[in-house]
Amino acid sequence: MSQVEKKAGLLRRTSSSKKPLKEKVVLMYDEIFKEDPAKHNSRFWDELFLMKVNLEYLESKLETVDGEEVQRIQDNINSLFHHCVQALGEEHQIKVVNALQTLCALFRGVHQKNKSASGFDIINMLMGFDKAEQRMKDLMERLDSLLCGDGSESLKSLCLKLLLCLVTVTDNISQNTILEYVMINSIFEAILQILSDVSSRGQHGYDAVVLLALLVNYRKYESVNPYIVKLSIVDDEPTLDGMGMVVHQALTEYNRQYKDKEEENQGGFFSTLTSMVRFNFHSLHLISKYVTNEAILLALYEAVHLNRNFITVLAQSHPEMDIAATPMTPTPTTPTTPLGTTPPSLDMMNNPELPLDPNLLTSNLLITFLKYASIVMQDTKDEHRLNSARLCLIILTCIAEDQYADAFLHDDNMNFRVNLHKMPMRHRKKAVDKNIPSRPLVCAVLDLMVEFIVTHMMKDFPMDLYLRCVQIIHKLLCYQKKCRIRLHYTWRELWSALINLLKFLLSNETTLLAKHNIFHLALLVVNLFNMFITYGDTFLPTSNSYDELYYEIVRMHQVFDNLYCMVLRVSTNTGQWKEAASKVTHALVNVRAIINHFNPKIESYAAVNHISQLSEEQVLEVVRSNYDTLTLKLQDGLDQFERYSEQPKEAAFFKELVRSISLNVRKNVSLNTLSQDVLLKEFSTIS
């Protein structure tokens, strides 16, 4: 049978001279597009929902009707919608299945046909504007009842797919006027019930979390969104834990698949150089090939941003679990989807409470998220990966500002080994898992920031991401200064990374200034050094750490000298960067004071002792013995920062992100929702 025949709903050709036969359901659809189908058959609607839905035919039929025909058959379309909603209350499960799938076809077909039409016209065509409020109220109540009832899990899954279909039929969900009725007739409680129950979470948690994330973003800047209000005040522990479990398992699955591919590629007998080049290429190919899970990241962001109670979920410890070793529940075959965009295995979701084994590494949602971020932040050349990296940094920004989150990040009694993924680079060896020390989680956050700073100094400079990285570091330092936390961290790696960043900005001044205000980033970096200089005695672990800070500044004085010359040149000329450069000039006052104070004394020490090149320890000795005569200026506001605010700065980013997620969800729903054979087989024995 040809593809054309299939799409047209044809069954077979009886002979070469006769027209092909049509499925009965196709004939019934044709009647709907001609006249009132119940006019000659009072049982038409009962019979229709016993027929296996032909989604392609119904959608294409709706898409091809012209303007005049729309007016003529509108009452019939309204009637079809009405009877679909009524059928959702039937005891006969096959009718419910077919009604749900018919509604999917209706929503998609009508929107596809009327892309340029107003939301009111679409509502009118689907259900009649005068009856829309009642029709949607009935629909949402029936869906709510199916989602919260004790019925078939397949039906619940299909209800969620229908809702995802409804939410994503327009590219911009805020232009989907039908969602006003979903705001009025909230299914928020049904979503929470799914997430709080271990069994239903395993079956439907992924779709429920994605649906919630999308609904939260409907006209969020234009009106009061009840899903935002309700999500912000949820304090039910099982529900919040359930949401965290769904996010955790989705990110864990992505991390596992990436690690498996990475290890698979490392086999074979290659020279060190060949292996490194091959691995480097393959790692970038891995990231390029797979779509990051933006929908789950968005859900995590909304939970962290809106609900302070969710912060506790980030820290809940449990054993690191190997999804690959977990028995998988058989699931229907669906088209292959990109890594990280499919729900995790059901058994993982069904068993959140596992016995703690002292031989197992412990993990939590934050650790899993940091590992995930270390993967997606490696290569930011693609729009999806850039968006995911930006969203990861926004989430970390919200976490770094939260007092409770900071408390557990810095808790010396909560130590973890966090194996972050790192980009292969010629000048460093790949880290061995066993060498990773057990430390407070803030060390892993700082490691991730340092890793990004070191690995993204490139022509297509991701300025926005660098600004966010430096601001996250600053917020963590502010907390350490405020609470006098002396973190045992390899601060020299951070200082070195920041100095190299300044060096990169200097080397590429002309190219970068054509696109970016590099002085803003330079100011933030210099002020990080000012934080260490001014307040380091309150949070650096030892006095020796403070000495090492001065050593690094003096050792790399050429970079700071060159930066000062550059900003002085720009600030004394007229131009758009005059004011921005001037701020850096003032910020450098203490750094320059340190350099100008210690350099002559180091040179003098070398001359007196006839030493051509001083060792690090000799330089440190000079530093320690000359603190008393150093004069520094007190700089105000170093430990202050602007708190994160989504509106208005991030509004455009989230608008485009939600559009991208909506398109991806729509594609996946259309691919794998409505494979009917499994559903019909399940209910074929039900009368």
Backbone angles phi, psi at 439, to 5 degrees: -140, 165
Residue with tokens 């209350």: 89
Stretch 127-153: mean pLDDT: 93
Q: Is 60 exceeded by the pLDDT of residue 320?
A: no
Distance CA 251, CA 370 (A): 10
Stretch 186-211: mean pLDDT: 94
Q: Is 90 exceeded by the pLDDT of residue 425?
A: no
pTM greater than the 0.75 cutoff:
yes
Per DSSP, the residues of 119-130 read HHHHHHHHH-TT
Q: Is 70 exceeded by the pLDDT of residue 319?
A: no
Query: Cα 470 vs. chain centroid, distance in angstroms?
Result: 20
| Residue 655: CB atoms within 10 Å | 15
Q: Is 416 helix (H, G, I), strand (E, B) or coil?
A: strand
Per DSSP, the residues of 450-510 read HHHHHH--SSS--HHHHHHHHHHHHHHHHHHHHHT------HHHHHHHHHHHHHHHHHTHH
Distance CA 621, CA 625 (A): 6
562 is written with which tokens? 């060159």
80 is written with which tokens? 């079809």
The string of pLDDT tens digits covering residues 487-514 is 999 999 999 999 999 999 999 999 999 9
Residue with tokens 């700071």: 560
DSSP-assigned letter for residue 117: S
Distance CA 157, CA 674 (A): 11
Which region among 83-92, 138-147, 674-683 has the lowest average model confidence (pLDDT)? 674-683
The string of pLDDT tens digits covering residues 218-233 is 999 998 999 999 999 9
Distance CA 645, CA 629 (A): 43
Query: Cα 325 vs. chain centroid, distance in angstroms?
Result: 26
pLDDT bracket for residue 136 (50, 70, 90): very high
Distance CA 243, CA 194 (A): 10
The string of pLDDT tens digits covering residues 350-361 is 444 333 333 445
Distance CA 520, CA 564 (A): 14
Phi-psi region of 644 (alpha: psi -120 to 50; beta: other; left: phi over 0): beta
Distance CA 451, CA 422 (A): 7
Calculate the CA dihedral of residues 491, 494, 500, 502 and round it to 10 degrees: -110
pLDDT bracket for residue 325 (50, 70, 90): very low
462 is written with which tokens? 């991701």
Amino acid at 85: V
pLDDT bracket for residue 588 (50, 70, 90): very high
Cβ(49)–Cβ(22) below 8 Å: no
| Residue 402: CB atoms within 10 Å | 18
The CA distances from residue 459 to 394, 450, 454, 464, in Å, are 24, 19, 14, 14
Q: Is 60 exceeded by the pLDDT of residue 367?
A: yes
pLDDT bracket for residue 270 (50, 70, 90): very low
- Specify the pLDDT at position 347: 42
Which region among 108-112, 172-176, 308-312, 424-428 has the lowest average model confidence (pLDDT)? 424-428
Distance CA 209, CA 200 (A): 12
Distance CA 196, CA 199 (A): 9
- Specify the pLDDT at position 430: 58
pLDDT bracket for residue 5 (50, 70, 90): very low
190 is written with which tokens? 């049904």
Distance CA 114, CA 478 (A): 53
- Specify the pLDDT at position 539: 95
Stretch 140-157: mean pLDDT: 92
Cβ(522)–Cβ(502) below 8 Å: yes
Cβ(168)–Cβ(666) below 8 Å: yes
Q: Is 428 helix (H, G, I), strand (E, B) or coil?
A: coil
| Residue 429: CB atoms within 10 Å | 9
The string of pLDDT tens digits covering residues 511-542 is 999 999 999 999 999 999 999 999 999 999 99
Distance CA 523, CA 588 (A): 9
Q: Is 10 helix (H, G, I), strand (E, B) or coil?
A: strand
pLDDT bracket for residue 20 (50, 70, 90): low
Residue with tokens 């292959």: 336
DSSP-assigned letter for residue 83: H
Amino acid at 516: H
624 is written with which tokens? 């320690």
- Taken as a whole, the chain contains a residue count of 687
Instruction: Please state, rounded to an integer, the average pLDDT across all residues of the chain.
Output: 84
Cβ(409)–Cβ(335) below 8 Å: no
- Specify the pLDDT at position 387: 93
Cβ(443)–Cβ(489) below 8 Å: yes
Per DSSP, the residues of 392-440 read HHHHHHHHHH-HHHHHHHS-TT-EE---------TTSPPPPGGGPPPEE
- Specify the pLDDT at position 528: 97
Query: Cα 196 vs. chain centroid, distance in angstroms?
Result: 22
- Specify the pLDDT at position 426: 64
pLDDT bracket for residue 70 (50, 70, 90): confident
Q: Is 70 exceeded by the pLDDT of residue 677?
A: no
481 is written with which tokens? 């200064």
At a CB cut-off of 8 Å and minimum separation 6, what does 142 contact? 85, 88, 89
H helix or E strand, kind and range, residue 533: helix 518-539
For 253-318, the three-class secondary structure string (H helix, E strand, C coil) is HHHHHHHHHHHHHCCCCCCHHHHHHHHHHHHHHHHHHCCCCHHHHHHHHHHHHHCHHHHHHHHCCE
Q: Is 60 exceeded by the pLDDT of residue 332?
A: no
78 is written with which tokens? 């309204």
At a CB cut-off of 8 Å and minimum separation 6, what does 527 contact? 474, 587, 638
Percentage of the chain modeled with pLDDT above 70: 81
- Specify the pLDDT at position 148: 94
pLDDT bracket for residue 344 (50, 70, 90): very low
Query: CA nearest 466: which of 533, 406, 524, 381?
Result: 524
Distance CA 262, CA 267 (A): 10
Query: Cα 586 vs. chain centroid, distance in angstroms?
Result: 38
